[in-house]
Amino acid sequence: MNEENNPHDKSRRKFLSKLFMGGGLLASFALITRNGIKYIFPSIESTPLRKLLVGKDDKIKIGEVKEVQVGESALYLIKNKDGYKVFSSVCTHLGCKVKWEDYRNRFYCPCHKGVFDSHGNVIEGPPPRPLDEFKVEVDKNLVYMWIEEKSTETV
Amino acid sequence: MNEKMKEWFMKRVPFNQEKASKVMSKIFLEEPIPKHMKNWYYALGATPLILFGFMVVTGILLTFYYIPSPNKAYNSVRYITEEVSMGYWIRGIHRWASNLMVIAIILHMVRVFFTRGYRKPRELNWIVGILMFAVTLTLCFTGYSMVYNQLSYWAATVGTNMIKEIPIVGTTILDFLRGGQEVSSNTLTRFFNLHIGFLPTLLFILIIIHIVFIRMHGVSKLEGKEDDEETYSFYPEHFYHTIIVALFLITFISALTIVLPPGLGEPANPNITPAHIKPEWYFFAVYSILKFVPLKIGVFLILALVIAATFWPFIDDMLRKKWPKIKIHYLVGSLTIILFLFFTVYEILVH
């Protein structure tokens, strides 16, 4: 029997051509999808920390709240009896900006009426956790805080 | 000359003209409409479609001047509203039509719900309708985020943060929408893309599926009158009905635009959340829930409500089998309307 007319050969050839065709299509589809996903979701790099001088220890009174503008974001430096604390102004509920209200001694978020005390703890409203804190250190009467160096532009 | 042109055309686009015109006439003109549709309240299905048409036209015109960049978006909207000839009218129609579209869809859904228009075999068309409502609300959300005023920015921030709370897929959707850690230029261009491309196309496809379903099943007849209700053909009476609705709407929306022109608000400031900020009225109920309950429970409640609404025809069917004498859809429908109105009016009245 001629080799070319062998039905086993024909079906094997058919199977192999389907396998390579299907496999090729599947592989290219997977590659296109992977590249597409990589394009749509930009890689978010971890932000480096930076030390920032915010004031002199003897010039800040206990109970005083200082708003520090770092790039586009505002941070709050608070001197309590037990030391300094630096809070993010981003509400832990849905990301609006809280504002320090001196006359009420609290942080207030206007979006969903969340309220935090001077230690950053939630005292009213829906926020699920205290305000985010940043590391702060005092070195030879100088107050420094460690903040994230943002690389993305907001506006 | 005319004959020659016709012959030229028919050679290039060969189709049976007579047969095609018969089919078209059967599909569009002779559609049997049940007699109860002569009541104006039953024109509410066509109303959102007409409003969608207005928004497509005005939306295309708005893109002639709108610039989707954080530094330029607000000014381009101001330019359209204050300087471009008839710009305030085009933008006003776009804005008011979107508000009226939400109202018209809600009213249409109320009508379908209370007359149980979703009952067997039309369950799938109810689901298509729910999807259309969800797409419309997303279009509204991405639309007012594009003005790039304070409401836009903070609504985009809050809205995308809420999405993060959706179990399993939340963070991926958040990253997809924002294109970064915060609401940024990437977010605005993505919203713009969704608003003018993907979402209107999706809505258009869903509208076609919705209409095809209606044509396949026929317009639903009132419960209990399925067999003996008379019908009349779509053309001319119901067609004129629709034209009158369209003419009324364009007049009404123009009047609204002149009496209550679209505002601009303060430009977006990512550093300051304004003291009084609220979303558009149709999100008041959601906004209210989020104020009073913890975030995870709030998002869970909203998701549960959406799932229940989507599969309501099947839920209703099961409940009716268990309690055949109680009209559960009346109870559920009335309670939903009361709660929605309560929260909406509450947020209008309270600061």
Residues in a beta bridge with A66: A77
Q: What is the pLDDT of residue B236?
A: 86
Q: What is the pLDDT of residue A10?
A: 84
Whether pLDDT at B267 is above 50: yes
Q: What range does the domain containing A124 cover?
A: 49-148
In this complex, do B271 and A74 lie within 8 Å of one another by their Cβ atoms? yes
Nearest to A126 among B183, B270, B294 (CB): B294
Distances (CA, A) of A155 to B68, B153, B176, B182, B301: 12, 10, 18, 10, 33
Give the 3-state secondary structure of A30-41: HHHHHHHHHHHC
Residue ranges of domains in chain B: 34-277, 281-351
Distance separating the N- and C-terminal Cα atoms of chain B: 71
Residue A2 lies in a domain: no
Distances (CA, A) of B136 to A43, A121, B12, B87, B210: 31, 39, 40, 23, 14
Cα separation, A121 vs B164, in Å, equals: 23
Q: What is the pLDDT of residue A153?
A: 46
Interface with chain A: mutation pick from B193, B271, B277, B299, highest number of A CBs within 10 Å: B271
Q: What is the pLDDT of residue A150?
A: 57
Candidates B155, B138, B282; CA nearest to B196 is B138
Average of per-residue pLDDT values in chain B: 91
> Which of A42-56, A88-102, B231-245 comes out lowest in average pLDDT?
A42-56
Distance from CA of A43 to the nearest CA of B (A): 8
**pLDDT for B9-32, tens place per residue?**
989 999 888 899 998 888 888 888
Which residue does chain A place closest to B279, by CA atoms? A111
What's the fold here for domain B34-277?
Cytochrome Bc1 Complex; Chain C (1.20.810)
Nearest to A97 among B183, B271, B291 (CB): B271
Structure tokens at B100: 């009226």
Write out the residues of chain B at the interface with chain A, using a CB-CB cutoff of 8 A.
70-71, 154, 157-158, 161-162, 172, 175-176, 179-186, 268, 270-277, 287, 290-296, 298
For residue B181, what are the contacts with CB-CB under 8 A and spacing of at least 6? A44, A152
Q: What is the pLDDT of residue A2?
A: 56
Residue A153 lies in a domain: no
**pLDDT for B128-157, tens place per residue?**
999 999 999 999 999 999 999 999 999 999
Residue A85 lies in a domain: yes
Residues A83 and A26 in one domain: no
Residues A59 and A133 in one domain: yes
**pLDDT for A29-65, tens place per residue?**
999 999 999 999 887 777 777 888 888 888 888 888 8
Average of per-residue pLDDT values in chain A: 85
In this complex, do A128 and B294 lie within 8 Å of one another by their Cβ atoms? yes
Residue A155 lies in a domain: no
Q: Which residues of A touch B274 (CB under 8 A)?
A: 110
**pLDDT for B188-219, tens place per residue?**
999 999 999 999 999 999 999 999 999 888 88
Residues A80 and A117 in one domain: yes
DSSP B94-121: HHHHHHHHHHHHHHHHHHHHHTTTT-TT
Cα separation, B63 vs B54, in Å, equals: 14
Whether pLDDT at B294 is above 80: yes
Q: How many CB atoms lie within 10 A of CB A147?
A: 22
Question: What's the pLDDT band for B37 if we cut at 50, 70, 90?
Answer: confident
Residue A1 lies in a domain: no
Cα separation, B99 vs B245, in Å, equals: 16
Structure tokens at B111: 């009508």
* Cis upstream peptide for B236 (omega within 30°): yes
User: Stretch B45-49: mean pLDDT, rounded?
Assistant: 88
Whether residue B312 contacts residue B320, with contact meaning beta carbons closer than 8 Å, is answered with no
Q: Higher pLDDT residue, B338 or A81?
A: B338
Question: What's the pLDDT band for A152 if we cut at 50, 70, 90?
Answer: very low
Given the cut 0.90, state whether the ipTM is greater than it: no
> Which of A121-125, B53-57, B73-77, B228-232 comes out lowest in average pLDDT?
B228-232
In this complex, do B184 and A128 lie within 8 Å of one another by their Cβ atoms? no
Domain count of chain A? 2
Residue A154 lies in a domain: no
In this complex, do A41 and B175 lie within 8 Å of one another by their Cβ atoms? yes
Strand ranges in chain A using DSSP code E only, listed in sequence order: 49-56, 65-70, 73-80, 83-88, 99-101, 106-109, 114-116, 122-124, 133-134, 136-139, 142-148
Residues A59 and A123 in one domain: yes
A119-127 long-range contacts, Cβ below 8 Å, gap at least 24?
A119/A80, A119/A85, A120/A85, A120/A87, A122/A92, A125/A93, A125/B291, A126/A93, A126/B290, A126/B291, A126/B292, A126/B293, A126/B294, A126/B295, A126/B298, A127/A91, A127/A92, A127/A93
Residues A23 and A64 in one domain: no
Q: Which residues of A touch B298 (CB under 8 A)?
A: 126
Q: Which residues of B touch A38 (CB under 8 A)?
A: none
Residues in a beta bridge with A70: A73
Q: What CATH number should be reported for the domain holding residue A118? A: 2.102.10.10
Q: What is the pLDDT of residue B351?
A: 64
